[in-house]
Copies of this chain bind each other. A is one copy, B any other.
Amino acid sequence: MDERRKYQMVDVGDKAITRRRAVATGRIVLGPVAFGQVRDGTLPKGDALRLAEVAGIMAAKKCVDLIPLCHPLGLDQVLVSFVPDEAAQAVAVYCLAVTSAKTGVEMEALAGVNGALLTIWDLAKQVEPALEIDRVRLVLKEGGKSGRWVHPDGLDGVPESFHE
Contacts and interface: CB of A to CB of B under 8 A. Distances in A.
A33 interface: no
A9 B75 contact: yes
A84 interface: yes
A134 B131 contact: no
A46 to B, nearest CB: 5
A68 B119 contact: yes
This chain: copies in complex:
6
Interface in A67-106: 67-82, 84, 98, 100-102, 106
Contacts of A76: 11-13, 71, 102
Contact of A121 (B54, B74, B107): B107
Given A7-B51, A77-B9, A78-B8, A114 B118 contact: yes
A145 interface: no
A57 interface: yes
> Secondary structure of the A side of the interface?
mixed
B122 A118 contact: no
Contacts of A101: 74
B10 A45 contact: yes
Interface string A117-142: 11101110100011111111110010
Contact of A75 (B26, B46, B59, B72): B72
Interface of A: 1, 5-13, 19, 26, 39, 41, 45-47, 49-51, 53-55, 57-62, 64-82, 84, 98, 100-102, 106-107, 110-111, 114-115, 117-119, 121-123, 125, 129-138, 141, 149, 151-152
